[in-house]
Copies of this chain bind each other. A is one copy, B any other.
C-alpha cells in the first residue's frame, strides 16, 4: 500500500502532512535549481508557500548539505541571503540499464551533468551478476575520474527494463533476459556503498520531464519513449503515476490494429510493432526490400540511414516517416482521447533522430484522429532534455528519495 491508502475513494485528493513536507522540499529544491542564487522571499513567491514554510525547508536543505548561502541581495537597505545548490557537495548517479548497454552518468546535486560512461552489454551478458558488474565498474569509473569518494554520493537511481518493484529494489520480471525476482538492490548494496533506488525507465523518463522538461509547468503529462521498445511515462496532477503494481505505461502493447502484425510480446497489432525501431525498419523493408538504407540486424544503423535519407529528401525515407506517423499519430490520439493531457512529449533515440519531420507528420495525423476539444488542449512536443533523459530521471528519483528521507531526521 502507498502513503495514499487513507485517501482513497472520492474526488479530492488528500495527502498526509508528511507528504506535504516532502513535496514542499521538492518544490523548494526545484526553484533553487532553476533560479539560483535565489532569496527565501523569491522561493516563496515562486512556490506559493509561506515565508515561514520556506524558512523551515531551506533550513532542512542547508543542514542536509544540499544548499549554501552564497551572498546577499539588497532589498530596500535590508540584506537578504541568497541560496544556491552546493555544487561542491553531494553528487547523484543515474544508471540506465538497457538491453545493449549500461550507461552511468554522474550529476551534482542540482542535476548538472558532470561525466558519463557507457559499457556495452553483449547478448550473452544477461546474468544479474554480469549486469551488476557493469553497473559497479561504471560507477567506479565516473567517481574515480571525478575524484569523488563514495561517501559523497547522495544516491544512485538505476533503471532496468520490465517489471520493477521499486520499494523492494527487485527486478520482478525482465522479459528479454528472462529474469524473475532478481534482488538487484541487495546485490548492488553488497558491492556499492551508496543508497540505490531501482525503477523502470518509463518512471525515470517522466520524472525527468517533471523536474526539467515539458512537465515543469504542467499537471497531466505523457512522455513517449520511442526506441527499440516504446512506452509511456505518465504524470497526473503533476505527480508520477505508477499504477497498481508499478507497471503502468505499457502503451507499446496496446492494440491499434486488431489481429495486425505480430508483436514480440506474443500479441498482434500492438503499437510497438509499428512504431518501435524494428517496426519502422519493417516499414522500410515493405516499401523497398532492396533499400540501401537497410542494415541487416542493425536497427540503429538503419534508423541513422533513414535520418540521412530524410535530410537528403529521399522519397522512400519520407514515406517511411509518413507510414510510421500514420500509426504513431493514431496511437497518440488514443492517449489524448483517453487521458486529455496537457502535453505529450516524444523522447528517446528514435524521436531524437527522426526529429521534426516525424513530429510534423504525427501532428497532422493526430489532428485527424483526436476529438476536437482534448486535441486543442494538448501540446505535442519533442523532449528538450539534453543527454540520456532516463539516466537524468533515475538520478532525479535518487534525489527525491534523499529529500524524502530527510523527513526521518
Contacts and interface: CB of A to CB of B under 8 A. Distances in A.
Given A242-B340, A337-B250, A373-B245, A217 B23 contact: no
A107 interface: no
A335 B244 CA distance: 13
Interface stretch (A134-142, A230-238, A299-307): A230-238
Interface residues on A, range: 35 or more
B30 A23 contact: no
Interface stretch (A122-130, A309-317, A326-334): A326-334
A377 interface: yes
A283 to B, nearest CB: 14
Of A8, A24, A245, A404, chain B has the most CB atoms within 10 Å of the CB of A8
A21 to B, nearest CB: 10
A114 B311 CA distance: 69
Query: How many copies of this chain?
Result: 2
Given A2-B219, A258-B257, A265-B371, A244 B10 contact: no
Interface string A204-216: 0001001100011
Nearest to A249: B338
A238 B47 contact: no
Interface of A: 2, 4-15, 17, 19-20, 22-24, 26-27, 30, 47-49, 163, 172-173, 203, 207, 210-211, 215-220, 232, 236-251, 253-258, 260, 265, 267, 327, 330-331, 333-334, 337-342, 368-369, 371-374, 377-378, 397, 400, 404
23 contacts: A2-B237, A6-B47, A7-B27, A8-B219, A9-B27, A9-B210, A9-B238, A10-B23, A11-B203, A11-B400, A12-B19, A13-B19, A15-B15, A20-B20, A232-B338, A236-B241, A244-B341, A249-B340, A250-B340, A250-B374, A251-B337, A255-B256, A265-B371
